[in-house]
Chain A
């Protein structure tokens, strides 16, 4: 994973915040996705143009978890999102 490249939201995806959780719709596949509060926070950080490193740093200050655990979880979440066509990861 490129730690310092910008993660982009797919142009096919629209999102709605529901007070803590977020619902995503991939218009191309017609598939809905739900993000819990942590996933919604990651989505917010992606929306403002954060990199993998910046998102990990933010989560490390906001949640009581080891940075290595956060990075591992982030890596898995972002790869899942990319596989579902929700985000474009930097080369």
Chain B
């Protein structure tokens, strides 16, 4: 039967429910930018997204957070989107779909990551660079002892914990949708 009403969240497949509950790959928490092809530059600009100048290797990207990610959902899901927006799957989603992680466990991991991110953002406000990428380098090391301008110790710990969660549960380097964190180590 043809679906004539929007699907309720509970009706979505588990993978989509997890993505709706998460959004960390779209909202600037994991990544500072999303990679696109040269052919996608013009239509991406037409979406109102901020396309960055070419990187040194010519790679194109648009800046995160994506303005079309609203209330946990992609507001242009049914329209044209850059290819990576529909193709990217984080490691947690893959593991859940393979049965290695239950939906409830995956959701718990997402919730923990979002709680950590919210706690950090509550102190620092907006950050540029993705909380596990360039921004992490700043957050984690901004407050050596005696630096009154730095983050609180708890937020620094939370930044490290968030990075650990990203690297252990979400990172999918084989299918990177975006500019990867600048360093893969915790330091």
Interface hit among A19-27, A56-64, A75-83: A19-27
Q: Are B145 and A34 in contact (CB under 8 A)?
A: no
Which residue of chain A has the shortest Cβ distance to B154 in the bound complex? Answer: A14
Which residue of chain B has the shortest Cβ distance to A17 in the bound complex? Answer: B161
Given the known inter-chain contacts A18-B112, A23-B161, please indicate yes or no for A30 contacting B140, CB distance below 8 A. yes
Q: On chain B, which size bracket covers the interface?
A: 10 to 19
Q: Are B157 and A34 in contact (CB under 8 A)?
A: no
Q: Are A27 and B153 in contact (CB under 8 A)?
A: yes
- Distance to closest chain A CB from B38 (angstroms): 38
Which residue of chain B has the shortest Cβ distance to A18 in the bound complex? Answer: B161
Q: Are B165 and A32 in contact (CB under 8 A)?
A: no
Within 8 A of B (CB), among A28-53: 28, 30-34
Query: Which residues on the A side are within 8 Å of B158 (C-beta)?
Result: 16
| B157 CB contact (under 8 Å) in A19, A21, A23, A28 | A23
| B165 CB contact (under 8 Å) in A18, A25, A31 | A18
Within 8 A of A (CB), among B147-178: 153-154, 156-158, 160-161, 163-165, 168
Q: Are B153 and A19 in contact (CB under 8 A)?
A: no
Which residues of B line the A interface, CB within 8 A? Answer: 108, 112, 140-141, 144-145, 153-154, 156-158, 160-161, 163-165, 168, 186-187
A-B contact pairs, 19 of them (CB 8 A): A14-B153, A14-B154, A15-B157, A16-B158, A18-B164, A19-B108, A19-B112, A23-B157, A23-B160, A23-B161, A25-B160, A27-B153, A30-B140, A30-B141, A30-B144, A32-B160, A32-B163, A32-B186, A33-B186
